[in-house]
Amino acid sequence: MDETNLYLEFIKKNFPESAIAKNINIYDFYKIIQEVNLSISILSKYAIQNDNDCWEIFLSRFQDALNKLLLYLPLNDSTGINILFRIMVESLLKYLYSISIDSDFNKIDKLAYRELKAKLKHTNIDYQVLYSIYAKYSNSIHVKKEYNNDTIIILQDIISSKQPNIVKLINEVLKLVNIYNERTIKLSNIKITTFSMAEVKSLKRYCSPSYLKNYFYKYMLS
């Protein structure tokens, strides 16, 4: 049984009332997360490292939020998904800031989102895609809902409500991944020839040809 089917079994066992397992796009979503995990595990070994490696903490936060999407989807928790996307964007921005501008973890970690945006204006790098995703999921959090006063009905409504559009979530995740891959590779000057044979085999085994072409070879063979 491959890992995608194991994930579906996990959903059926732990979230038996969730309809997400019947959504054919869940296969693609899980595959993308799996590819990103492999990408991060390999690229992080070759990325530029600061004296205190604080970038690893921000990258770890990004990856943690990304993987938690696999839990929030079967819960059908749109609020949780929105918050995770905000965490991913902010963590990714702080990661990029730490490997290109300043490696002082305590200073970066205390930066509010608006302060971070202001400082990144001086880098001459366009982060508008990240800002747009952050704004989109921030606005979603503040949408007002009318709830019944019966707690059980509230919970049933959450589980049975319309499922998130997984295709859109995949596209949003790929936007984040593309920026991560591009900036990490460019800043570190990583080339495919740097990888070990085992790493190359893992990439070819677990990543789709389109993912390798668009998010690896695009930058590493140039």
- Which of 3-7, 38-42, 144-148, 165-169 has the lowest average pLDDT? 144-148
Full 3-state SS string of 67-98: HHHHHHHHHCCHHHHHHHHHHHHHHHHHHHHH
DSSP letter string over 16-85?
Answer: TT-SGGG-THHHHHHHHHHHHHHHHHHHHHHS---SS-THHHHHHHHHHHHHHHHHHHHHT-HHHHHHHH
* Range scoring the smallest mean pLDDT among 8-12, 38-42, 108-112: 38-42
Angle, alpha carbons 23-137-63 (nearest 5°): 70
Question: C-alpha angle 175/27/132, rounded to 5°?
Answer: 20
Verdict on whether the full-model pTM lies above 0.75: yes
Task: Judge whether residue 51 has pLDDT over 60.
Answer: no
Q: What is the mean pLDDT of residues 139-164?
A: 62
Here the tokens at position 39 are 């990408």
pLDDT confidence band for 88 (50 / 70 / 90): very high
User: Do residues 192 and 220 make contact, with C-beta atoms less than 8 angstroms apart?
Assistant: yes
Convert the pLDDT of each residue in 90-139 to its tens digit.
999 998 888 778 888 899 999 999 999 988 887 777 889 999 999 999 87
